[in-house]
Amino acid sequence: MLPVINHPWNVKTSDARDIQSRLRQQVILTPLSDSIYTIAAVDVSYTRWDKIGYAVLGIFSVINDNGNEAFTIKEELIKTRIDSVNFPYIPGYFSFREIPILLPLFETISTKIDVIIVDGQGIAHPRGLGLASHLGLIFDIPSIGCAKSKLIGEYSEPGMHKGDYSDLHIKNRIVGTVLRSKEKCRPLFVSPGYKCTIEDARKMILKLCTKYRLCEPIRRVDEISKTLRKSYQNK
DNA sequence: GCGACAG
DNA sequence: ATCTTGTCGC
């Protein structure tokens, strides 16, 4: 699987800013396909001083129950350890930290992916190019950002029931959804990454939220990456 | 200058 | 993100 976009990663934030502003023009928000069968999720866990990262790519083959819940019938996990994490975490430049870590994972697979779920923002970003958008654009694969907290934007608190939501907007532009994925839990910040609409992103994430606040694909890769880190620290 | 600030 | 036990609320 070859990236359709190529640019340097180890750059100053001022250059990263220019790259983001340029690439955002290529982010298109077309409807997601009706037949989503293969869902990927990615996550990275770090050791205490950021030196080592454990990256996981999970590929989940799902089957829909009349469009309500998605059940995983097969999962494929790809894991990597990164011994030197270069780019620091800077809000707004998250993709320049994580994408270089995630790229090797995608090079090993041949499975066709229908959509990538990312724990981070899609277009709900100061320059319209959060990690999910950047990753989707690079591979030309539809993607969705599903963050646990807000990076930018204004919203009113959504209702307290599962599935309730409100718009996340920047100025007068709607960029995502604040979604109550579980009763009495803090909402998720869902925004389309690439080749996905705001509505399709919300519906897909809600469908993948079964018992917990986080959607199942993210929960799963989160669990795996943390387990990898802990097994390292116990040596 | 001050506050906000994905993971 | 990571460190870290108990504790309060549903």
Answer whether residue A8 is part of any domain: no
Give the closest nucleotide to A90 (alpha carbon vs C1'). B5
Phi, psi of A76 (to 5 degrees): -130, 125
Q: Is residue A229 part of a domain?
A: yes
A171 in a structural domain: yes
- pLDDT score, position A77: 98
- Predicted confidence at residue A65, as pLDDT, reads 67
User: What average pLDDT score do residues A121-135 get?
Assistant: 98
pLDDT of residue A112: 97
Q: Phi then psi for A50, rounded to 5 degrees?
A: 65, 5
| A14-18, A57-61, A64-68, A174-178: least confidently modelled range | A64-68
* More reliable by pLDDT, A3 or A166: A166
Asked whether residue A192 is domain-assigned, the answer is: yes
**Strand C contact at CB of residue A233, distance < 7 A:** yes
Q: Which nucleotide is nearest to A145 (CA to C1')?
A: B6
DSSP class of residue A128 equals S
Structural domain including A98 reads 13-233
Q: Does A154 score more than 70 pLDDT?
A: yes
Any idea what the CATH number is for the domain that residue A176 is in?
A: 3.30.2170.10
Domain total of chain A: 1
CB neighbour class for A166 (10 Å; exposed up to 12, middle 13-18, buried from 19): middle
Residues by Cβ under 7 A, strand B? A 43-44, 46, 50, 89, 91-95, 119-121, 125, 130-132, 145, 147-152
Tell me whether residue A166 is in a domain.
yes
Contacting residues 181-220/A vs strand C (CB within 7 A): 184
A97 touches strand C (CB under 7 A): no
User: Measured in angstroms, what separates residue A81's CA from nucleotide B5's C1'?
Assistant: 28
